[in-house]
Amino acid sequence: MIGQLLDWFAAPGRWSGGTGIPARVLEHLGYTLLAVALGAVIALPVGAVVGHTRRGGLAVVGAANGLRALPELGVLVLLVLLLGLGLLAPTLALVLLAIPPMLAGAYSGVAGADPGAVDAARGMGMREHQILLQVEVPAAVPLVLAGVRFATLQVIATATIAAFVGLGGLGRYIIDGFSVRDFPQMLGGALIVAVLSIVVELVLQGLGCLVTPGPDRLRLRRVPTLTTREARP
Amino acid sequence: MRAFGYDIGQLVVAHVALAVVPVLAGLLLALPVGFWAHRSPAARRVIVPLSGALYTIPSLALIVVMPIILGTGILSPVNVGVTLTIYTLALLVRSVAEALDAVPGTVTTAAVAMGYRSAGLLFAVQLPLAVPVLIAGLRVASVSAFSLVTVGALVGIDSLGTLMTSGFEQDYPQMVAAGIVGSLVLAFVFDALWLGLGRVLTPWSRARTGV
């Protein structure tokens, strides 16, 4: 079996052309980036505003938890049957699945900002939008990033399933392999998806360390700064 | 009950068995592993990142890799069962460790002073206090398991997901919708069941709120 798997990886044309591994990886990353970016444009502002005003917070958390129960396969198939084959329906399904974790992250991050800091900002005469953008959003960064990471993994996994409804990407190897009982092809595809997910997770964790404000930031250069956490008694 | 050319009762039974058995198995495995992570910081440094990495692997990929690891056939439901057990274990190990960490030191000290020793302390004092966190983790694992079981249908493992794959092939949206609704209803029924179990296991939380 391992030998057959290695043969599959070494087969001619496996590393070039439209159905080669690099092309499939790029397709998969492309769908993922598109869905996560569209989802973020919708989810992050809505989550931040709801977190700031605290109106509708229960609805946001409830919807995010309820959507977790939706079977991804069913959503994909239903949207494709209703909207037709192509890129639109699977992308819509992926965006739908990317929204809840990012919405919950933005909401809980902003709502969980230190109330003392928010009050101090208000006392200094900051306007509401300044409080949101300059105090609450920076405080929310770690939870927002956790939401983005979870959404990304969810989308990578669901994009694999979406090969069943005709989408390209790495799921093709698994679905096409299954339909002709080509086990090495299925296994090869599964291994590449697994490695891709872990690599993407590590890259996002690394990026997260770079953009997180405050003392948790990974410092590339030593800059003497007085952080809020150090300043607190 | 027959509908869409399938015995729906049989699909529901398969769906429930494939979701609930792995979740309970994952919980049983998470207790000792989580306890180990709670006691040993060195073990924790390995267990927590490892379970995070396992949780990262897409479900379809894990289901497909299982036959190689387990020696099962590609069409065996065991592949889906073990995959969901791994997800539950990965999710709950951290919950167990953190729930045990959160038991107040004064409580364990008092229990030790009253004569509780390792096993008694764990089962009579620490675990009961960890129940709310465990139930919260169990509910998340259970809800996602009911949704992930359907992915098995892509490699021929029957569940309500079969209505989705078959409905796609027959261009029959009602059949797909029936699969989605059925899966959602089952997920919510068992979610309510775990919630109720948590209430029964923590009578003191009801006493405090005066219900």
pLDDT at A228: 46
Angle at A212 between CA A210 and CA A217, to 5 degrees: 60
The CA distance from B112 to B100, in Å, is 16
Q: What is the mean pLDDT of residues A45-59?
A: 89
Contact residues on chain B for A161, CB-CB shorter than 8 A: 60, 151, 154
Contact residues on chain A for B74, CB-CB shorter than 8 A: 178, 181, 183, 186
Q: Which residues are within 8 A (CB) of B61 and not within 5 positions of it... i.e. 6 or more apart? A: A160, A174, A189, A190, A191, A193, A194, A197
Q: pLDDT, tens digit, for every residue of A178-201?
A: 999 999 999 999 999 999 999 999
Q: What is the ipTM of this complex?
A: 0.88
The minimal CB distance from A153 to the residues B56, B177, B183 is found for: B56
Which tokens belong to A143? 């939870």
The CA distance from A85 to A82, in Å, is 9
DSSP class of A87: S
Q: pLDDT, tens digit, for every residue of B49-82?
A: 999 999 999 999 999 999 989 999 889 999 999 9
From A10-24, A71-85, A147-161, B142-156, the region with the lowest mean pLDDT:
A10-24
Q: Which domains can be identified in chain B, with CATH numbers? A: 2-209 (1.10.3720.10)
| Residue B29 CA, distance from chain mean position | 11
CATH number, domain A15-212, options 3.30.70.580, 1.10.3720.10, 1.20.1260.10, 1.50.10.10: 1.10.3720.10
A194 min Cα distance to partner chain B (Å): 5
Domain residue spans of chain A: 15-212
Higher pLDDT, A232 or B118: B118
Burial B105-139 (b: 16+ CB within 10 A, else e): eeebeebeeeebeeeebbeebbbebbbbbbbebbb
B190: left (phi over 0), alpha (psi -120 to 50) or beta: alpha
pLDDT at A26: 96
- Return the residue of B nearest to A71 by Cα: B147
